[in-house]
Amino acid sequence: MGPVRRPGRRDQDDDRLFPASSRPCRGLIRPGNDRRRTTLHKRRLADVLFSLIDLVDRALSLDARHRPGFRAAPARLQGVMPTPELREEGCLNVPPLVWRREDLTGALQGPAGVLEEHGVRVSSLPYVSADADEHARLLRLSGAKLRTLCETHWNPGLRPALRRKLDARMRVTALEGETILLGAYFADCNNYFHFWIDAMSDLWFLAQCGVDLSSVRNVLMPWNGVRWQREIARLCGLPEERIVPLSSADGFVLEKLHLAVRTKGGFRNHDWIVSALRELSGWRAPRSDAPATGASGRRIYVTRGGALRRPLFNEAAVLEALAPFGFDVVDCASLTVTDQRALFASAEIVVAPHGAGLTNIVWARSGTKLVELMPRGHANPCFMDLASQAGVAYGVVPSVVEEDGVNPIYAGFGVDPADVAVLVRRMLDG
């Protein structure tokens, strides 16, 4: 399949942090057009100004781990999953898969922990992506004096802070009392994986670090109130009336913030994620030696259906290759969270393209098998990490074709159906 045009994810540090009139011009100028020359000149000057602001911003930024209100988490919460560079399936005649771990060059190193700080300012500006998620927000934190507050990486926060302060159109909300900020590592607001792994894990982590959640008045987080978010909040004991959606304002001034400073995003994962989510949501996975009754022992293929991100080009051919094994095709988006948890707990083996539905491997019993169909351009090891923690046997089939010229987050891909069948047979045979 040839290249397909699809809007890519914008750079999270782009000039949407300022009005459109000050964003760089990407077009060409016709000779003699003075108006366009003047506009281009102004925009170049704006670029220089923004660069200078960013230089000052970086020099004055604050490392959350070096603030007086930071305290390190207990040693049992510091562990991070190992980071192998390659994954190779011996039964497949394909090149090894190269994992795309988060680049830690320039990252702020230090222990995981909790920052307690008064007067934090939050910039929560709209973020445009191909998902058309109207609640997606680009988050930046700053102190009372507009100095950027960094968690793990420096991201330019002075420009949005200045805009929040100087632009009368910005909606700024003051939150009194104690506030916790959950998730928001990425701009996504409608992502099942990040809601569980970033936001809900933050909730558990804060409690483990001694934050009294009963005294928290505001829970600031990515939230659009869809059915599955409400269900997860109930399962995790999070009162909906305390939730403040990040999309409800362009900025927030917090009287007192409790911030989880830890590894997030999925490319690198703490080694306690599975146990944390099971404990938080009151889940007990069936024992691996429990008798197979009812729907237990199901063979499940999780389709991505009409997902905008990473469609599997040749899904029909893959399903044809799986037909002799007796797989049921399931679309997790059509199920309640409770039903998704029960489904994965009943599985003998799961086959699926890389996608948020595989977050449910958290609920699988030890000894379950997972075969992930993986685009090489977006080889995120997050589900391998979750499978390892859950005691699930993991295998991966790398892509043989991907869309050209498309952001890997969105690029469609294809796998060799014969490879899928070979790996499934090998895993079923033990």
Q: Which of 19, 23, 12, 16 is nearest to 46 (CA)?
A: 23
**Measured distance CA(106)–CA(398) in Å, rounded:** 30
pLDDT of residue 253: 96
Is the model's pLDDT at 429 over the cut of 70? yes
Rounded to the nearest 10 degrees, the angle between the axes of helix 382-390 and helix 273-280 is: 70
* Closest-CA residue to 139 (of 204, 260, 221, 57): 221
pLDDT given for residue 290 in this prediction: 57
Nearest Cα residue to 358 out of 367, 408, 292, 368? 368
Burial class (CB in 10 A: 0-12, 13-18, 19+), 334: exposed
pLDDT above 70 (res 410)? yes
Tokens of 190: 């409608």
In three-state form (DSSP H/G/I as H, E/B as E, the rest C), the secondary structure along the chain is CCCCCCCCCCCCCCHHHCCHHHCCCCCCCCCCCHHHHHHHHHHHHHHHHHHHHHHHHHHHCEEHHHCCCEEECCHHHCCECCCCCEECCCCCCCCCEECCCCCCCCCCCCCCEEEEEECCEEEEEECCCCCCCCCCEEEEEECCCCCEEECCCCCCCHHHHHHHHHCCCCCEEEEEEEEEECCCCCCCCCCHHHHHHHHHHHHHHHHHCCCCHHHCCEEEECCCCCHHHHHHHHHCCCCHHHEEEHHHCCEEEEEEEEEEECCCCCCCCECCHHHHHHHHCCCCCCCCCCCCCCCCCEEEEECCCCCCCCCECCHHHHHHHHHHHCCEEECHHHCCHHHHHHHHHCEEEEEEECCHHHHHHHHCCCCCEEEEEECHHHCCCHHHHHHHHHCCEEEEEECCEECCCCCCCCCCEECCHHHHHHHHHHHHHC
| Integer Cα distance of 193 and 60 in angstroms | 34
pLDDT digit string (tens) for 372-406? 999 999 999 999 999 999 999 999 999 999 999 99
pLDDT(11) > 60: no
Q: Which two tokens stand for residue 1?
A: 């399949």
Please choose, from the candidates 134, 149, 144, the residue with its C-alpha nearest in 3D space to the C-alpha of residue 181. Answer: 149
**Is it the case that residue 28 has pLDDT exceeding 80?**
no
Q: Which of 14-23, 70-79, 284-293, 385-394 has the lowest mean pLDDT?
A: 14-23
Interacting residues of 415 by C-beta distance below 8 A, sequence separation 6+: 312, 314, 318, 373, 397, 398, 399, 400
Q: Which amino acid is at 211?
A: V
Please tell me the predicted confidence (pLDDT) of residue 376.
95
- Nearest 5°: phi and psi at 133? -85, 105
Tell me what the mean pLDDT of segment 223-246 comes to. Answer: 97
Mean pLDDT of the chain: 88
* Sequence letter at residue 248: S
**pLDDT, tens digit, 9 for 90 and up, residues 124-180:** 988 887 777 889 888 899 988 888 888 877 777 788 888 777 888 889 999 999 999
Q: Which domains does the chain have, with CATH numbers?
A: 62-94+103-280 (no CATH), 298-429 (3.40.50.2300)
> What residue type is 218 in one-letter code?
N
* pLDDT higher than 60, residue 17: no
User: What pLDDT is stored for residue 29 in this prediction?
Assistant: 47
Least confident of 83-87, 104-108, 288-292: 288-292
pLDDT at 318: 98
Contacts of residue 365, Cβ cutoff 8 Å, sequence gap at least 6: 285, 286, 287, 288, 290, 345, 391
Least confident of 87-91, 160-164, 342-346: 160-164
Structure tokens of 286? Answer: 């069936």
- What pLDDT does residue 100 have? 87
Q: Rounded distance, CA 172 to CA 179, Å?
A: 16
pLDDT at 301: 98
Half-sphere exposure at residue 390, Cβ-oriented, CA atoms within 13 angstroms = 31
Lowest mean pLDDT segment, chosen from 146-150, 399-403, 409-413, 420-424: 146-150
